[in-house]
Amino acid sequence: MKFKILLKNTHDAEEFVKAATMCGGDVDLHSGVVYIDGKSLLGVLAMGVKRELDVYVSAHNDGAFKNAVQKFVVA
């Protein structure tokens, strides 16, 4: 599953990483040519906040994960 998110501040990043950590599969973030592990707070913060990021989720319960981070999803 692929979707876009926007994290507005460090609190949003922490909340996203917490949800990603609870997800059973891989969660990767992509921006430009950079891919990072969505379960790494340091990686998410290094990628930056206040920018749209592509999220790739490979889990059997990816719909549950998307629901958990729905407030960060952008159209």
**CATH numbers and ranges of domains, the chain:** 2-59 (3.30.1340.10)
At 24 the pLDDT is 85
CB 13 within 8 A of CB 21: no
14 token code pair: 């922490």
- Start-to-end CA span in the chain (Å): 14
Q: Tell me the two tokens of residue 47.
A: 């990628």
Q: Quick one: pLDDT at residue 43? A: 95
Strands 52-58 and 2-6: antiparallel
Q: Work out whether strand 2-6 and strand 73-74 pair parallel, antiparallel, or are unpaired.
A: antiparallel
Per-residue pLDDT of 23-74, as tens digits, reads: 888 999 999 899 999 999 999 999 988 999 999 998 777 788 999 999 999 9
Query: Which pLDDT score is estimated for 63?
Result: 84
Strand, helix or coil at 69?
coil
The whole-number pLDDT of residue 62 equals 73
Residue-level pLDDT at 12 = 97
Question: pLDDT tens across 11-33, in order?
Answer: 999 999 999 999 888 999 999 89
The pLDDT of residue 70 is: 96
Residue closest to 44 by CA, chosen among 31, 57, 32: 31
